[in-house]
Amino acid sequence: MPSPFFVTAQQFDFAGPLPLRGGAQLRDYSLAVETYGTLNAARSNAVLVCHALNASHHVAGVYAGEPDNLGWWDNLVGPGKPLDTEKFFVIGVNNLGSCFGSTGPQSVNPDTGKPYGADFPVITVEDWVDAQAVLADRLGISRFAAVIGGSLGGMQALAWSIRYPKRLANCIVIASTPRLSAQNIAFNDVARQAILTDPEFHGGHYYEHGVVPRRGLRVARMIGHITYLSDDDMAEKFGRSLRADDLQYGYGAEFEIESYLRYQGDKFSEYFDANTYLLITKALDYFDPAREHDGRLERALAHTEANYLVASFTTDWRFAPARSREIVRALLDSKKRVSYAEIDAPHGHDAFLLDDPRYHTLLHTWFEQIHREVQA
Q: Which of 182, 216, 190 is nearest to 201 (CA)?
A: 216
Minimum distance of its own copies from residue 195's CB (angstroms): 9
As a dihedral over the C-alpha atoms of residue 100, residue 285, residue 129, residue 374, rounded to 10 degrees, the angle is: 100
CA-to-CA dists, residue 203 to 118, 193, 206, 364, angstroms = 7, 12, 7, 46
DSSP bridge pairs for 34: 92
Amino acid at 12: F
Q: Is 3 a residue of the active site?
A: no
Report helix, strand or coil for 308. Answer: strand
Q: Is 316 a residue of the active site?
A: yes
- Binding segment for its own copies (CB under 8 A), chosen from 31-39, 151-159, 238-246, 367-375, is 238-246
Buried b (16+ CB within 10 A) or exposed e, 228-251: bbbeebbeeebeeeeeeeeeeeee
Q: Is 151 a residue of the active site?
A: yes
Candidate list 108, 114, 138, 190; residue touching its own copies; CB under 8 A: 190
Minimum distance of its own copies from residue 238's CB (angstroms): 4
Q: CA angle, 151 as apex, 147 and 156 as ends, to 5°?
A: 40
- Binding segment for its own copies (CB under 8 A), chosen from 27-35, 93-101, 137-145, 179-187, is 179-187
If binding is defined by CB under 8 A, does position 372 make contact with its own copies?
Answer: no
Q: Which of 158, 138, 152 is nearest to 331 (CA)?
A: 158
- Binding segment for its own copies (CB under 8 A), chosen from 10-18, 168-176, 243-251, 366-374, is 243-251
If binding is defined by CB under 8 A, does position 119 make contact with its own copies?
Answer: no
Q: Which residues contact 263 (CB under 8 A, 6 or more apart)?
A: none
If binding is defined by CB under 8 A, does position 22 make contact with its own copies?
Answer: yes
The C-alpha atoms of residue 210 and residue 282 are separated, in whole angstroms, by 25
Site string for its own copies, 24-53 (x = CB under 8 A): x-----------------------------
If binding is defined by CB under 8 A, does position 134 make contact with its own copies?
Answer: no
- What's phi and psi for 341, nearest 5 deg? -125, 125
Chain centroid, CA 206 distance in Å: 25
Candidate list 198, 273, 350, 356; residue touching its own copies; CB under 8 A: 198
Nearer to its own copies, 137 or 232 (CB): 232
Site string for its own copies, 202-221 (x = CB under 8 A): -------------x--xx--
Catalytic residue among 84, 273, 288, 316: 316
State the catalytic residues: 151, 316, 349
Binding site for its own copies (CB under 8 A): 21-24, 121-122, 179-183, 185-187, 189-190, 192-194, 196-199, 215, 218-219, 222-223, 226, 229, 231, 234-235, 237-240, 247, 249-251, 254-255, 257-258, 261-262, 265, 278, 282, 285-286, 288
